Amino acid sequence: MSEYDYIVVGAGSAGCVLAARLSEDPTVRVALIESGGPDRGTEIRIPAAFPKLFKTAYDWDFTTAEQPALGGRELFWPRGHTLGGSSSVNAMMWVRGHRDDYDAWARAAGAEWGHEAFVPYFRRAEHWTGPTGHGTVYGTEGPLFVSPPRAPSDLTGHFLDACQDDGLPLLPELNAPDHSGVAMTPVNQRRGRRWSAADGYLKPAARRPNLDVLTGTRVTALAFDGTRAVGVRTTGAGPATLTARREVLLSAGAVGSPHLLMRSGIGDPEDLGRAGIEVLAASPDVGRNLQDHLSYAVTLHCPRPVTLTGADTPANIARYLLARRGPLTSNLAEAVAFVRSDPALAAPDLELIFAPAPFIEHGLTAPTEHGLTIGVVLLQPGSSGRITLDPDGGDRGPGIRIDPGYLTDPADLPRLIAGVRRAETLFASGALAPHTSGPMAPYPGPVDDDRLAESIREAAQTLYHPVGTCRMGEDDAAVTDPRLRVRGVDGLRVVDASVMPRITRGHTHAPTVALAEKAAELIRQDARA
């Protein structure tokens, strides 16, 4: 087939939702196009193995532009390059965010994006399997399994105790409207196995005769008849051109979606002109408003061999493969606390992620020493960056320049420092101090603010949550309107994290799935109009 009603570009968290929901109507034909391959890797299934997926065929393996505020470093940006997208390579954390996040969306794009209106789309996606939930905060009938950690470390319990001793409430439900406090991390797992968007949405839908899933097929440009999107041009395994009778839906993520728009003539006219691309629709904000969560790891040695270091023993591997139990069911980030750098703030602006293991340099090198980590995450950065065209891009991501603009807002670094000080307080508590024995590089230990700022600039990394580059809004400058339609053209929408006008106080998989659930409803409504 080369002609469809809907073409979905990208089989990540949003694309899997769209393909599944739109193909529920047997009268329409849907194509889902994924440039990566099938999600067959063993490491995809084993939760604790997710760092082994980085810099493999399952990863786009992006690199940012040099970041002046981070010592001129170019940062590694992993993004999923397989069915399920980043939901197949992430740490499986299901964190909706704070109600204020969605009320900020409502101020940008209308009341239908506010918290109360948006929560039902989370519940539509969720299948909670833990001892709590009861259909009140979590959904219980959706396609995405959400579970508590299956075999959490005893050390994680000590972290919870430390937080409570420091005045943080232990939350019965992390995904309540206000997540101020500490809780075990809800994860996308089913009986100890990763449960990605491909597992929950795509694989049941792929059996339908009206859905075609094309892997190993890269979209190089959008096809237009005048200013109406009528299909896509591709290279790889699929047909060279696919036609869309109704709509083309970009779900290529905060990097891929603006890149395709610009490659197709939708963007800043000056930038397009420099790249030799004819302007189809002037939209200067395409690629702008790039936001991400910057993280710094506070890591201490552990004096006893009780962490997840070396957990991949033959016995633990056998235990996992036979019963899906044991330490390999861990997502490493077993508990989280949401805190404020300033008590006067209305909502948390920092996240503290506890791992009963050293997590340094994305886990790309397996640790040989035992240690504990509290990752300090800046949830509401004032800094922002931009995706632009780069004629000299590499072969895995041609034509893309990623500049997150980390720490360009002077208020961001002091807030990160405040978060590190909170982590140090927790490590010094009676609950955690007996399990630590000194700093593990690159964390320098308790030092003055100037030396700590230097360390943050030398070692901070992405938490893998880019958003905002095709932001939605009611204003004319927004790339997409509140129904996610691309301004200036017809027959084209963007449905992924790039449309978020503001980054959430949490992790971006859950809001992206809920956003796609809402988008599928909007698309069906418009088809009936």
Ramachandran category for residue 507: left, alpha or beta (phi over 0 → left; psi -120 to 50 → alpha): beta
Where the chain has pLDDT below 50, the residues are: 133, 394-398
pLDDT of residue 404: 98
**pTM over the 0.95 mark:** yes
CATH 3.30.410.40 segments of the chain: 150-184+294-378+408-459
Radius of gyration of the CA atoms of the chain, in A: 22
Is 3.30.365.10 the CATH number for 1-49+79-145+187-290+466-529?
no
Per-residue pLDDT of 126-148, as tens digits, reads 999 977 545 568 999 999 999 99
pLDDT of residue 393: 56
Q: For the domain made up of 150-184+294-378+408-459, give the CATH fold.
A: Cholesterol Oxidase; domain 2 (3.30.410)
Quote the tokens at residue 177.
């409207």
Taking the CA of residue 388 as centre, how many other CA atoms within 13 Å lie in the half-sphere pointing to its CB?
A: 18
Residue type, 377: V
Is residue 465 among the annotated active site residues?
yes
Q: Which phi and psi angles does 388 have, rounded to 5°?
A: -135, 170
CB of 22 closer than 8 Å to CB of 248: no
Sequence-ordered list of residues with C-beta below 8 angstroms from that of 157, at least 6 positions apart, any chain: none
pLDDT of residue 135: 52
Residue type, 11: A
CA distance 342 to 415: 9
CATH 3.50.50.60 segments of the chain: 1-49+79-145+187-290+466-529
- Identified catalytic residue from 81, 465, 507, 509: 465
